Amino acid sequence: MIDAVIVAHGQADVTSRAARSIRSAGGLMQSLTIVDTADDPALAAVANEATLDARLLSRPDNPGYGAAANAGVALGQAPLVLVANADVWVHPGALDELARALEEAPDAACVGPLLLNTDGSPQDSAFAFPGLGQAVSDLLPLPARVRGSRLNGRLWSDGPTRDVGYLLGAFMLIRRRAYELVGGFSSAYWMYAEEVDLCRRFRDDGWRVRYVPTAHVTHIRAATTSARDTEMLPQLYRSRARWYRRHCARPTASAAIGLMWLLLGVRARLPGPRREAYAAAQAALSLD
| pLDDT tens, position by position, 176-191 | 999 999 999 999 999 9
The answer to the question of residue 138 being in a domain is: no
Q: pLDDT tens-digit profile of 223-267? A: 554 446 678 899 999 999 999 999 999 999 999 999 999 999 999
Same-domain check for residues 112 and 212? yes
The answer to the question of residue 148 being in a domain is: no
The answer to the question of residue 201 being in a domain is: yes
The answer to the question of residue 39 being in a domain is: yes
- For the entire predicted model, the pTM comes to 0.92
Task: Specify whether the CB–CB gap between 262 and 157 falls below 8 A.
Answer: no
Task: Specify whether the CB–CB gap between 226 and 251 falls below 8 A.
Answer: no
The answer to the question of residue 74 being in a domain is: yes
Same-domain check for residues 115 and 238? no
Q: pLDDT tens-digit profile of 34-87? A: 999 998 888 888 888 877 889 999 999 999 999 999 999 999 999 999 999 999
Same-domain check for residues 233 and 114? no
Q: How far apart are CA 119 and CA 28, in angstroms?
A: 28
Number of domains composing the chain: 2
The residue-averaged pLDDT of 272-283 equals: 92
β-partners of residue 31 are 3
Task: Specify whether the CB–CB gap between 3 and 22 falls below 8 A.
Answer: no
Same-domain check for residues 107 and 241? no
Give me the CATH number covering residue 208. Answer: 3.90.550.10
The answer to the question of residue 152 being in a domain is: no
The answer to the question of residue 146 being in a domain is: no
Same-domain check for residues 275 and 234? yes
Same-domain check for residues 118 and 166? yes
Rounded alpha-carbon distances, angstroms, from residue 144 to 76, 127, 148, 156, 198: 42, 16, 6, 15, 28
Same-domain check for residues 190 and 275? no
What is the residue type of 225?
T
Task: Specify whether the CB–CB gap between 78 and 3 falls below 8 A.
Answer: yes
Q: pLDDT tens-digit profile of 108-123? A: 999 999 999 999 999 9
Range(s) of the domain holding residue 239: 229-284
Alpha helix segments (H runs only) across the chain: 12-23, 41-47, 65-73, 94-104, 132-136, 144-147, 176-182, 194-204, 229-247, 250-269, 275-284
Nearest to 232 by CA among 278, 170, 287, 263: 278
Task: Specify whether the CB–CB gap between 268 and 282 falls below 8 A.
Answer: yes
Go through 181-219 and write b for each residue having 16 or more CB atoms within 10 A of its CB, e for each that does not: ebebbbebbbbbbbbbbbbbbbbeeebbbbbbbbbbbbb
The answer to the question of residue 238 being in a domain is: yes
151 — pLDDT class (breaks 50, 70, 90): low
Which residues make Cβ contacts (< 8 Å) with residue 103, sequence separation at least 6?
none
